[in-house]
Structure 1
Amino acid sequence: MIFSGKKSLHHAVTETTPPHSKLSLPTSEATPEPTSDAEVDYPDGGAVAWRQVVAGHLINAMASGYGAAFGIYQLYYTETLQLPSAQVSWIGSVQIFLNNVTCTVAGRLADAGYVRETVIAGSVIALLGTFMTSLATEYWQIFLAQGICTGIGLGLMYMPAITIVSSYFLKRRGLALTISTAGTGTGSIIFPATVQYLVPKIGFPWAARCAGFVAMVIVGTANLLLKPRRLPRKPSPMVEWAAFKEPPYVIFVAGSFMFYWALYFGYFYINSYAIKFASFTATSAVSLLLITNAVGVPSRILIGYLSDAYLGPINAFILSALCVAVTFFSWIAIKTHSTMYAFAVVFGVTNSFAQGAFAGALASLTADPAKMGTRFGMCCTILGFATVAGPPTAGAIIDFCGGSYLWAQVWAGGVTVIGGATLGVARYWVSGAKLAVKV
């Protein structure tokens, strides 16, 4: 259905697909009717609920943190294996792309009641890819192991963690989700540090295996902590096409696409920019990535608190996205060691604000909690195309400009501004023209 600009999403009636659809998956329960947030009794606290937040944090440490550490692997592949940097970047891009695209399948399986099975399957596949990477010696082997196998496994793990945390919280959902997704920062510190500091001591193969053993402990603990909460649900298709008839959801996805299109330009190119324009060495440039990821842990938790207590999730995402745009534009003036470190901190804080607020904002647009995974998965699949296209787009602009980063930085800032403005339109559909409203 189409929401009017002033209608509350929590009282909207969500369309459902007839239970006899050929695309329907079986569910593990026979409860005939789905529910809305207003009809579900959310614990919003308690030992079991917060245990799921810890499990989600650990899953995100692997599902998102491992991918964020690819810059360390790229440095090794280009310097030691003498592989072209453009060719190597496709491994990381494909991994992130498959991570997002797999979310549609993972989200639907989670909604159908197979949270634990999906997380376990993703854990096994991701660990297999991680250990096989340690054995790979040629490009195609690395691409299959780290790009494809690991990417699919990480995607299967990520989405169920979002749905299970959302099923335990409503009033504190923003805070719970941001603490959960803060695992991205935890993982993106642990995995780069493990590989970076062990390679000189024991070599890359065993350093990669040690990262695999760390991952095994993380996902093993997460699976032990998981306790999926079964909500009433109705059989539905893999893709809920009715969601694309809701202007707030469609516009929000479009704005998020623009934001994520530019975001990974910063992650992928911060090291190379520092080496070329700020006199960093290849080794010292790695510290920038670690700083960016480290400041993201408290930043995500902070934006979750502000979102729940003062701003509202959509407002928080819009403001954070615009802050990222300002950061991209300020990157143009960065030329020294000290300013490069300052940029790493500011970029880490602002992009973590935005990514932390994203989950809560998208969750607020889903009235039926039993469809949370499906709608998240649909959105993340679309965003997968943005993340895989962003770094190559920036690279093409840099190459066209003869190695200058100026217009790539202008492109990233401009695209992010457009994304923030588009999110503002989605907010208008939810709350109308009122500015001083928590939404």
Structure 2
Amino acid sequence: MAHISQPQLPNTDSGSSNYDTLTPHSALTSMSASTDDLQSAGAQAIKAVDPAANEKSKSVAASAVPDGGVQAWFQVVGSWVIMLETWGLVSTFGVYQTYYETTMLPNESSSAISWIGSVQGSLLFFVGVLAGPLFDAGWFREILLAGLLLVVLGQFMTSLCTLYWQVMLAQGVCIGIGMGLIFLPSMAIMPQYFHRRRALAIGIASSGSPIGGIIFPILFSHLHLSIGFGWATRAIAFILLGLAVLPLVVMKTRTTPHGKAGLVVFDKGTWTDAPFLLFIVGSILVFLVLYVPFFYIELFSVDHNVWSLDQSQYLVTLLNVGSFFGRIIPGALADKVGTINTLLACTLCSAILAFGWLGMYNIGSLIVFTILYGAFSGGVVGLVPAGVVGLSPDLSKVGARMGTTFTLAGVSLLIGPPVAGYIVGGATGAEWLGMIGYVAGCLILATFFYGLTRRLMV
């Protein structure tokens, strides 16, 4: 059998050094001609003659991943900023929801207003069906720049809004599309730099989300009282603008793209991969309800006279405090006991806590609930991307698989909070009971499907 060598491939970013490719079949380049067709044929021939050689090529490719180093951790820093500018803003919508309902858009229903946040969050996922394949094809720098510009532009335009449709277009659509362009690639780049510590790296990067969810609600709640809605929203926009420079400077891919033609939007292997399909179903159920408490915990507190309106704003902050620890600790644990195992545990704990929400009618219990739910739900959000990577045998198709997963999950995020708002309706005790049951029930079902995923992986 011919000797398997590690070829040196040019990096896609000018001025950077050459790196080894990550895709397993590329380790066979020295055995074949320079064309892609001959390379693929050689890989298939070796796999047919000696299956062990195929596994060896995978281990060689994995060993080529640096799994640390300055450049690798720069990607974590850049992704951390992107998570702050995407999920950090999504996590902030609870304070906007309350402000719109009580001050700016009092004639709009709770369900109608929640559609703004749902559109924003769902577009973060929907656009992934395009952003993932574009990332795989080597357009990372272009989509990164476009996405960051749209997020900042949308935030500035939101500061000028006074009508419902204006807020929907600026905060829902413009920011949502920008988020979708940058979120998925910021996660898909991690396998190029991390293998053994991949879940930890993704967890640290995703901790930017709760930091944004801590800072932005406090900033908005304090500033809109003194300088008004417009300048409070613009202050956040200026922060987003300044931070956007960092990922543009430090983030770069280390593998040669497949070519900027012939985008593969869907990985055909997805539809015959039973564990991955079950994982997608579980993720659809998770994102149907996981962010409902982030949207409605503040309103729940006010309706039940647990805290005043001014004090209740801190509940969203406490959710994100818990989420910060939930991004990092489960990520470190997942590298030791398995990503799906840890995701399964976090989803189950989130479901149990959701059932416990039924009895949280005093400030002490509600604070405990918000911190714990934030922690375990944060673990779920941080581990889903790592789960996609772990269930993807071909790392060159991670972007496409993430795009498929998050696009389908985006449908859930689009309809989930408005359905919760419709159930709450007049915010009576019975209606809150129904909404909480809806959240807990979906999380229990998600736990079941993640459990089936784990079973089929054995």
- Give TM class, smaller chain: 0.7 to 0.9
CA contact (8 A) 2:352 2:440 kept: yes
Partner of 2:287: 260
Aligned residue identity for 2:312: A
**1:199 maps onto 2:224 in alignment:** yes
- SS of alignment partner, residue 240 of structure 2: helix
SS class of match (1:356): helix
The residue matched to 1:70 in structure 2 has which SS?
helix
TM-score for both structures, normalised by structure 2 = 0.84
Per-residue Cα deviation, 1:115-168 (whole angstroms, up to 9, x for no partner)? 111111101111111111111122111111111111000110101101112211
Superposed CA deviations along residues 345-367 of structure 1, whole A, max 9, x for unmatched, are: 11111111221222211210011
Q: For 1:56-205, list aligned pairs within 5 A.
A: 56-81=79-104, 82-84=106-108, 85-205=110-230
RMSD (CA atoms) = 2.2
- Residue range with higher mean Cα deviation, 47-56 or 255-264: 255-264
Map 1:358-437 → 2, pairs under 5 A:
358-399=384-425, 402-404=428-430, 405-431=432-458
Contact 1:53 / 1:179 at 8 angstroms: preserved in 2? yes
Is the 1:231–1:370 Cα contact (8 Å) retained in structure 2? no
Give the SS at the match of 2:185: helix
Query: What corresponds to 1:38 in structure 2?
Result: 59
> Aligned partners of 1:77 and 1:383: how far apart in 2?
26
- Residue range with higher mean Cα deviation, 206-215 or 182-191: 182-191
Contact 2:85/2:240 (8 A) holds in 1: yes
Task: State which of 267, 275, 278 in structure 2 corresponds to 1:251.
Answer: 278
Question: CA separation in 1, counterparts of 2:329 and 2:436?
Answer: 27
Q: Which amino acid aligns with 1:50?
A: W
> Could you tell me how far 1:401 is from its partner in structure 2?
9.0
- Aligned with 2:315 (options 288, 312, 327): 288
Contact 1:321/1:420 (8 A) holds in 2:
yes
Conserved? CA contact 2:98–2:298, under 8 Å: no
The answer on whether the counterparts of 1:37 and 1:367 sit within 8 Å (CA) in structure 2 is: no
Q: 2:239 aligns with which of 206, 214, 224?
A: 214
**Structure 2 alignment gaps of length 5 or more:** 1-22, 26-34, 44-56
Deviation digits for residues 317-373 of structure 1 (CA, Å, limit 9, x no counterpart) = 011100001000111111101111111111111111221222211210011111111
Give the distance between the partners of 2:427 and 2:150, measured in 1 at CA.
41
Evaluate the alpha carbon distance shift between residue 37 and residue 260 of structure 1 in structure 2; reply closer, same or farther with a 3 A threshold.
Answer: farther
Query: C-alpha distance in 1, partners of 2:307/2:165?
Result: 31
1:302 maps to 2:323:
no
Task: Specify the code of the residue in structure 1 equivalent to 2:178.
Answer: G
CA contact (8 A) 1:317 1:353 kept: yes
**Distance in structure 1 (CA, Å) of the matches to 2:139 and 2:70:** 22
Deviation at 1:177, TM superposition (A): 0.6
TM-score, normalising length: structure 1 = 0.88
After the TM superposition, which of the residue ranges 269-278 and 245-254 deviates more from structure 2? Answer: 269-278
**Alignment match, 2:357:** 331
Could you tell me how far apart the structure 1 residues matched to 2:131 and 2:58 are? 22
CA shift for structure 1 position 402 = 4.9
User: Are the equivalent residues in 2 in contact too, given 1:317–1:358 (CA < 8 A)?
Assistant: yes
Q: Distance in 1 between matches of 2:201 and 2:107?
A: 41
State whether residues 126 and 151 of structure 1, in contact with CA within 8 Å, keep that contact through their aligned partners in structure 2. Answer: yes
- Residues 54-97 of structure 1: per-residue CA shift (max 9 Å, x gap): 11001110011111111122222222222423322111111111
The residue that corresponds to 1:315 in the other structure is 341
Which amino acid in 1 is paired with 2:101? T
Structure whose CA Rg is larger: 2
CA 1:280–1:114: 2 relative to 1, 3 Å? same
Aligned length: 405
Q: Provide the residue aligned with 1:226 in structure 2.
A: 251
Aligned equivalents of 2:281 and 2:227: distance in 1?
46
Which residue of 1 is the match for residue 47 of structure 2? Answer: none
Matching residue of 1:27 = none
Question: Is this contact kept in 1: 2:111–2:419, CA < 8 A?
Answer: no
- How far the C-alpha of 1:403 sits from its partner, in A, is 4.6
**Mapped contact 1:248–1:429 kept (Cα < 8 A):** yes
**Alpha-carbon distance in 1 for matches of 2:427, 2:327:** 35
Per mean C-alpha deviation after superposition, the further-off stretch among 164-173 and 392-401 is: 392-401
Stretch moving more, 403-412 or 360-369: 403-412
Corresponding residue number in structure 1 for 2:48:
none
Q: Which amino acid aligns with 2:273?
A: E
- Work out which structure has the larger RCO, using CA pairs closer than 8 Å and 6 or more positions apart in sequence: 1
Taking structure 1 as reference, are residues 315 and 64 closer, same or farther at Cα in structure 2, changes over 3 Å only? same
* Partners of 2:308 and 2:191 in 1: CA distance: 43
Report deviation, 1:396. Answer: 3.0
| Matches of 2:190 and 2:222, distance apart in 1 | 34
**Residues 65 and 192, structure 2, Cα contact 8 Å, conserved in 1:** yes
8 Å Cα contact 1:179-1:300 kept in structure 2: yes
